[in-house]
Chains A and B, each alone.
Chain A
């Protein structure tokens, strides 16, 4: 069975969907044009130098040396001018992307773990605090300020279609902001080597129109959906007794651990294992039975569930919408 990848925009900095990425993409065009012209000039000069026919009889005589001095000096001067123009443009761009637009930004806390992303949506009302993992919902057209840290090693938050990256450093609080111009699902990936599964520590940023985003917030604040049938209910029991609750939390149940991702609304997620696989029965079953086959070295151990237990827990998790 060919498992569909979750549908998202291919991660790329030259396909911007956000303000910051768009500015940098524009700058990139200026950079590559300038660089290509300069490189071409240097290469042409080199080729001419190598293959020209007429050469001075006395290459080290003063007149020749003076002429060369003038040409080299002129080249250095031109290089300096280009660099100064580059610096001016760059500093202005730097200020632009560092400034958070003053349009009531949304604040999200990002906590990096080996090897998954924790996203918290803080609220003045403690009950409204949302904790989710690996999928970051944001409203389109509103800046999102990310307050970031890591309890283990250095990670780096990077969604190239939206913005440049920023590191998450143990012992430090770092901050960045992103903003999506259009709705869509954008893939991001950890961009600082963080150990065995650095390669599979990705995330999805789901940008939705403001109204849909508000709906998502409301739904996420709710405690977990009650299991619909007996199989799912049995699954809820398996969850508590087979060891899952040692690491995972599901709001409204006895499972409250914060070691691993919060699974309260897991059924609504597009992907599993930090955007490694689509969230469907087959993948989820394989993941639960042996995460090490998909992400060797991951913190989640294999689980010896018999087929009934597995079936039940899958039904339960699917229902956590």
Chain B
């Protein structure tokens, strides 16, 4: 990696060196375990998520190989069931949400002008917990004990009677880990976005990517507990014979579906909203105008966040629920197209009146709009109960959600990779390889998933390890499998591009795209402390509005990790806060959390052992170092002046 470039013509020389000494990671392996720098942690999230993306891709490729011919022999039913479960579980829990969390954790402080996130130690801990969860489930998979009841694990199939062994228990605990990590990241992003913004960055000047990350975070806070509760109930049914889902003792199989989908539907918007944030972020650079319709875009993101919680029953239309209730969910599921549509119309309006520059980020953004619109169309169709009752649990649904996820999550993500790679690494990705990457992926997606609409309507159900010759599904399945190879090759191109550009890419400079937002005000890559002095903001496009001279505030400490806190609505400077600095205790606490939950899969001793270890480790984590005195204290306004101590 390049060394930190020095900021030119500083008002105060040597400031950057002093700050770097305080903020930079410790060297070597110990630095790796102790870092609380949000950029390091975020890069880890993204890199780890990409590894899981590749693993899930290999699983998909194997499944497509198996399904390319009828009665094929590559995967038997047991292996296939593990593969499709792992593919879905990996993509949903280990890739899509963590990668968007990583993107948010990297960008939010830079976008709002802060030096770090609000809770750097918790941030570090969250990543380790996520990693432990991923390693757990893949460990199980590699010893033929991977979960095999689907990523959605419907009861009673996933219960103790029909899924013996530890497979589903491993799945349930992985949920716990990834859920803890996501919740930590969510609280961090919200707090950072609301308390650590640059002076002058009032609510109506917050970058759209930050809004998207904040709404995503609120959604995580209300959705994740539902799946955590569900998986807790399932784990208890399996391990200690509770009866939440056992009809014979008063439980209900449908309870699982309600709890799971109450999480499951918002989950896809948790993944999708940051994708829309990415597109809104990069369009200005490639159309040379600020994105049109800021208020509409922000309100659409917020509206989608709310509406998403009112859709979950559309996953359950084939179950015995009252018709009137179903109608509500049909209407909500169709109406969610409105805020999504608003965003798309605003983007088209932006492009219409801007001057498009056809670089790879814009290509991926356009591809995302095209693919997502197609997925959105089938989405409205399946809001209809009668129509859904035909296509539910068929390849039509597989086609639908791959279109919306590839369009709404993966393509924006790749756009974001090409857009922010220079900021993260200091080098540009190759444009030529980028265009190959884009076109291969665009063509591959359509080749793989478009035929699946037809397959579903021709009666091919989901989650089948094979199909009979007489069904006539062989040809379209072969086309889909060939399309998967094209997608695979595009990912190879991407990886090659990244590896090559890390060493040989063109040096990027601070703002290679001549972009409008604050992250481009600092060097590429950003210094450990992000900004030497706190930028002051007076509009939505700080770099385009400030011209040659950026107003800043000075005065934060130089001998310790100090950040500026501002007020929630108008971002007026409010107080200063000292961060504890780099420490190994988040890693240790994460290990104790791992011991706690993993041991519980196999023995109830996990409860006392894990609790004791966790409490000890957390005590060390939280025990204060000597703080810098004298502190400047401001008592709450509710304390009458007479009672203020002298």
Chain A–chain B contact at Cβ < 8 A: yes
Q: Would you list which residues of chain A between 57 and 96 have a CB under 8 Å from chain B?
A: 59-60, 64-65, 68-69, 71-72, 75-76, 79-80, 83, 86-87, 90-91, 93-94
B345 touches A87 (CB 8 A): no
- A43, A76, A165, A169: the one within 8 Å of B390 (CB): A165
Assess whether A197 is interfacial by the CB under 8 Å rule. Answer: yes
B373 touches A169 (CB 8 A): no
A297 touches B78 (CB 8 A): yes
Chain A nearest Cβ from B221, distance in angstroms: 29
In whole angstroms, what is the CA distance A165 to B318 when docked?
A: 6
A86 touches B334 (CB 8 A): yes
Set of chain B residues within 8 Å of A72, measured between Cβ atoms = 292-293, 296, 342, 345-346, 349
B323 touches A98 (CB 8 A): yes
B341 touches A65 (CB 8 A): no
In whole angstroms, what is the CA distance A190 to B337 when docked?
A: 31
In whole angstroms, what is the CA distance A57 to B323 when docked?
A: 55
Assess whether A170 is interfacial by the CB under 8 Å rule. Answer: yes
Set of chain A residues within 8 Å of B330, measured between Cβ atoms = 87, 90-91, 94
- Please count how many residues in chain A sit with their CB below 8 Å of the partner chain's CB atoms: 82
Name, among B353, B394, B466, the residue most crowded by chain A CB atoms within 10 Å (CB to CB): B353
In whole angstroms, what is the CA distance A225 to B105 when docked?
A: 74
Assess whether B150 is interfacial by the CB under 8 Å rule. Answer: yes
B384 touches A93 (CB 8 A): yes
Set of chain B residues within 8 Å of A13, measured between Cβ atoms = 390-391, 457-459
In whole angstroms, what is the CA distance A158 to B317 when docked?
A: 14
Assess whether A166 is interfacial by the CB under 8 Å rule. Answer: yes
A60 touches B289 (CB 8 A): yes
In whole angstroms, what is the CA distance A189 to B470 when docked?
A: 14
Assess whether A49 is interfacial by the CB under 8 Å rule. Answer: yes
Q: Would you list which residues of chain A between 144 and 168 have a CB under 8 Å from chain B?
A: 152-154, 156, 158, 160, 163-167
* Chain A 257-290 per-residue mask, 1 if CB under 8 angstroms from chain B, else 0: 0000000000000000000100000000000000
Set of chain A residues within 8 Å of B150, measured between Cβ atoms = 193
Which of chain B's residues has its CB closest to A72's CB? Answer: B345
Which of chain A's residues has its CB closest to B454's CB? Answer: A14
* Chain B 9-21 per-residue mask, 1 if CB under 8 angstroms from chain A, else 0: 0000000000000
Assess whether B203 is interfacial by the CB under 8 Å rule. Answer: no
* Chain A 27-47 per-residue mask, 1 if CB under 8 angstroms from chain B, else 0: 110010001001100110110
Set of chain A residues within 8 Å of B462, measured between Cβ atoms = 191, 193
A164 touches B292 (CB 8 A): no
B78 touches A154 (CB 8 A): no
Which of chain B's residues has its CB closest to A197's CB? Answer: B77
Flag the segment in A4-12, A233-241, A311-319 that touches B.
Answer: A4-12
Set of chain B residues within 8 Å of A175, measured between Cβ atoms = 320
Chain A nearest Cβ from B501, distance in angstroms: 26
Which of chain B's residues has its CB closest to A5's CB? Answer: B470
Assess whether B154 is interfacial by the CB under 8 Å rule. Answer: yes
B337 touches A169 (CB 8 A): no
Assess whether B468 is interfacial by the CB under 8 Å rule. Answer: yes
Chain B nearest Cβ from A61, distance in angstroms: 10
- B162, B323, B351: the one within 8 Å of A152 (CB): B162
B292 touches A65 (CB 8 A): yes
Assess whether B569 is interfacial by the CB under 8 Å rule. Answer: no
* Chain A 220-262 per-residue mask, 1 if CB under 8 angstroms from chain B, else 0: 0000000000000000000000000000000000000000000
- A86, A94, A158: the one within 8 Å of B380 (CB): A86
A296 touches B353 (CB 8 A): no
Which of chain A's residues has its CB closest to B336's CB? Answer: A83
B154 touches A193 (CB 8 A): yes
B345 touches A153 (CB 8 A): no
Chain A nearest Cβ from B141, distance in angstroms: 17
Set of chain B residues within 8 Å of A24, measured between Cβ atoms = 386-387, 389-390
Known pairs A27-B384, A93-B386; A83 contacts B374 (CB<8 A): no
B78 touches A296 (CB 8 A): yes
In whole angstroms, what is the CA distance A163 to B459 when docked?
A: 12
Assess whether A103 is interfacial by the CB under 8 Å rule. Answer: no
- Please count how many residues in chain B sit with their CB below 8 Å of the partner chain's CB atoms: 83
Which of chain B's residues has its CB closest to A32's CB? Answer: B381
Which of chain A's residues has its CB closest to B382's CB? Answer: A31
* Chain B 53-86 per-residue mask, 1 if CB under 8 angstroms from chain A, else 0: 0000000000000000000000011100100000
A86 touches B384 (CB 8 A): yes
A158 touches B252 (CB 8 A): no
A21 touches B390 (CB 8 A): yes
Set of chain A residues within 8 Å of B459, measured between Cβ atoms = 10-13, 158, 160, 187, 189
Chain A nearest Cβ from B403, distance in angstroms: 12
In whole angstroms, what is the CA distance A286 to B363 when docked?
A: 56
Known pairs A72-B345, A296-B78; A166 contacts B318 (CB<8 A): yes
A83 touches B157 (CB 8 A): no
B354 touches A59 (CB 8 A): yes
B338 touches A165 (CB 8 A): no
* Chain B 358-373 per-residue mask, 1 if CB under 8 angstroms from chain A, else 0: 0000000010011001
A199 touches B467 (CB 8 A): yes
- A165, A189, A296: the one within 8 Å of B76 (CB): A296
Assess whether B171 is interfacial by the CB under 8 Å rule. Answer: no
Q: Would you list which residues of chain B between 307 and 340 have a CB under 8 Å from chain A?
A: 318-320, 323, 326-327, 330-331, 334-335, 337-338
Known pairs A49-B351, A171-B247; A83 contacts B390 (CB<8 A): no
A165 touches B392 (CB 8 A): yes
Known pairs A38-B377, A93-B386, A166-B318; A83 contacts B338 (CB<8 A): yes
Q: Would you list which residues of chain B between 542 and 591 have a CB under 8 Å from chain A?
A: none
- Mark A residues whose CB is within 8 Å of B: 5, 10-14, 20-21, 23-24, 27-28, 31, 35, 38-39, 42-43, 45-46, 48-50, 52, 55-56, 59-60, 64-65, 68-69, 71-72, 75-76, 79-80, 83, 86-87, 90-91, 93-94, 97-98, 114, 152-154, 156, 158, 160, 163-167, 169-175, 187, 189-200, 276, 296-297
18 A/B residue pairs, CB under 8 Å, sorted by A: A5-B469, A10-B459, A11-B458, A24-B389, A35-B378, A52-B352, A71-B349, A94-B327, A156-B393, A163-B389, A164-B392, A165-B392, A166-B318, A169-B319, A170-B253, A172-B253, A172-B254, A191-B462
Q: A76-B345, A170-B253, A174-B319 are in contact. List 19 more A-B contacts (CB 8 A).
A: A45-B352, A75-B341, A79-B337, A86-B380, A94-B330, A163-B389, A164-B318, A169-B254, A171-B253, A172-B320, A189-B459, A190-B461, A191-B461, A192-B393, A194-B157, A195-B81, A197-B77, A276-B468, A296-B77
